[in-house]
Amino acid sequence: MRIGIDLGGTKIELLALDVDGTELHRQRIPTPQGNYQTILKCIHSLIKTTETTLNLKGSIGVCTPGSNSPTTNLLHNSNSICLNNKPFKQDLKKFWVAIYALLMMLIVSRSQKQLMAQQKMQILFLV
């Protein structure tokens, strides 16, 4: 199973797909405003609920507005202001051993496809 999370300014949406790309589960909740820890907990809860409901575990991809600084590893330029200057990717990794934080600013191009191949990622999707 592959799980994609779209973290937006007004909603968080989860989509779970099987290996063939068939939709298994979809859930959408409002994004908590102004509370970084609550946003992390909501993402964690969505994923745990999905894994429990489907009795499956899967790889997880998250897309969010903004970009991760390669020098500080902090998120910046997010329109969800409470995410700015936070170690978003690292904080998500605290919940899961293997998670790829995919940032909305990335353009799916040859370089991203090469990166995916290097990291042995089988699928990249932005919900």
Closest by CA position to 101, among listed 1, 2, 5? 5
The residue extents of the domains of the chain are 2-118
39-50 pLDDT, tens per residue? 999 998 999 899
Closest by CA position to 64, among listed 101, 116, 110, 90? 101
**Percent of the chain clearing pLDDT 90 (strictly above):** 34
Report the range of poorest mean pLDDT among 18-22, 66-70, 92-96, 105-109.
Answer: 105-109
Alpha-helical regions (H) of the chain: 36-54, 88-95, 110-118
- The reply to whether CATH 3.40.1410.10 applies to domain 2-118 is no
Q: What is the pTM of this model?
A: 0.72
Q: What is the pLDDT of residue 125?
A: 46
| Contact call for residues 34 and 83 (beta carbons, < 8 A) | no
Q: Which of 64-68, 86-90, 103-107 has the highest mean pLDDT?
A: 86-90
| Contact call for residues 29 and 11 (beta carbons, < 8 A) | yes
Report the range of poorest mean pLDDT among 22-26, 51-55, 113-117.
Answer: 113-117
- pLDDT of 107 strictly over 80: no
Residues in the chain: 127
Coil, helix or strand for 94?
Answer: helix
Burial of 114 (0-12, 13-18, 19+ CB in 10 A): exposed
